[in-house]
Amino acid sequence: MAKNKQMKKLKSITILLIAGFLLASSCNKDNPQPVDNTARLTLSFYHLVDSLPIDFDTMKYVNAAGNPYLVSEIQYFISDVTLHNTDGTYHLLDAWEDIHYVDTDLYETFKYVLKDSILPGTYDSLIFTFGISEEKNQSLMFVNPPESNMFWPEYLGGGYHYLKLNGKWKDTEDIIHPYNFHMGIGQIYDPESDEITGFVQNYFKVKFHYNLEIEPGDTIFIPIDVHVDQWFENPHVFDFNVWGGDIMQKQDAMQVAKENGHNVFQKSMIIGD
């Protein structure tokens, strides 16, 4: 009997010990964690006109064609961020989750914190897609605002705007017009019937050359300057008097924008911790 009693007591003590251990370990924040040998990457976007932060809604800028203009808002998508290694390999970050929305009215969107970790090593370039690739640009993939407000009508090719750059410009007679410099899937129209006979993908890749030595545990911040004036300047001078203020249904104008877009994004000094 005594032995049985002793046994029961021992059982109870053991349970208490196990539960106590559970309790202690569950709230212990100081448990040794596995060492993270990877690094992290954040892109930050700075929106500029004439190399200075944008003064919105002020008719103070003049583009390369001599059109006075103001900027009201900019919204766009960045996707397919890829780091290229010196050995020829590359690392696509965040795969299908990698479409980032930037909106000059939403400060929190200026930073793109990549979720994937990066393996330490030497990388010589960073490439991203401006807009969304044909494969990924599927209608209704964003159902929540603000991204859903970027939808590109089905009739015009579907998917999403790559870019909405809205503002106003002044013509040669000093009349102010709105402009909607919007990019997305372009259309080819039959000159006779005006029916759409085909679509054109206008997304493009932006490449920055770096010499990135990434060490384990690094957090790399890559600032990217977004030079809005370059949409209208280099290599093609974009004249609002020629193209008008709206370009969603003008593939030739979007082609100009596409070729100018490579110069819109420029690298700035990298900051690491």
Partner 1 sequence: MKMQHLKQIFTFRFSIKHGALLLGFSMLFFNACVDDNNIDEVFEATPYQIEIPFGFPTKLNIPENNPMTVEGVELGRYLFYDGRLSGRNHPDSLMSCATCHRQERAFEAGVDHPDFPGGFPHGLTGLPTHHVMLPMINLVWNHSGYGWNGFLYPNNPEENLRNIEDFVRLTVMAKDEIDGDTLQTREMIQSIPGYPELFKKAFGSDKVTFVNIGKAIAQFVRTLISANSKFDKYMRGEVQLSQSELNGYVLFTTEEGADCFHCHGGFGNPLFTTHLFYNNGKDTEFTDPMDRFQISKDPMDHGAYKATTLRNIEVQGPYMHDGRFATLEEVIDFYSHDLKDSPYINPLMHHINDGGILLTPTEKEDLLNFIKTLRDDDFMTNPDFGKPGKFPDEK
Interface with partner 1 by CB under 8 A: which residues? Answer: 7, 10-12, 14-16, 19-20, 22-23, 26-27, 57, 72, 139-140, 142-145, 148-156, 158, 160, 166-168, 175, 177-180, 182, 245-246, 248-249
Rounded least distance, CB 110 to partner 1, Å: 18
CA torsion sign for 103, 105, 110, 113 is negative
Cβ proximity to partner 1: between 89 and 138 the closer is 138
Rounded least distance, CB 94 to partner 1, Å: 20
CA–CA distance, 153 with 184 (Å, rounded to integer): 10
Q: Tokens 């030079």, residue?
A: 227
Rounded least distance, CB 192 to partner 1, Å: 17
DSSP letter, residue 93: S
Cβ proximity to partner 1: between 177 and 267 the closer is 177
126's CB contacts (< 8 A; 6+ apart) are 81, 82, 83, 84, 207, 208, 210, 212, 222
Cβ proximity to partner 1: between 92 and 106 the closer is 106
Q: Is beta strand 111-113 parallel, antiparallel or unpaired with respect to 121-130? A: unpaired
Rounded least distance, CB 28 to partner 1, Å: 11
CA–CA distance, 23 with 197 (Å, rounded to integer): 68
Contact at 8 Å (CB) between 216 and 38?
Answer: yes
Rounded least distance, CB 135 to partner 1, Å: 18
Cβ proximity to partner 1: between 7 and 113 the closer is 7
CA–CA distance, 85 with 87 (Å, rounded to integer): 5
Secondary structure (3-state) at 18: helix
Cβ proximity to partner 1: between 65 and 196 the closer is 196
Rounded least distance, CB 249 to partner 1, Å: 5
CA–CA distance, 52 with 237 (Å, rounded to integer): 20
What is the per-residue burial (b if ≥16 Cβ within 10 Å, else e) of 104-128? beeeebbebebebebeebebebbeb
Report the Cα 199 to chain-centroid distance in Å: 24
Rounded least distance, CB 74 to partner 1, Å: 12
Cβ proximity to partner 1: between 89 and 139 the closer is 139
Cβ proximity to partner 1: between 184 and 261 the closer is 184
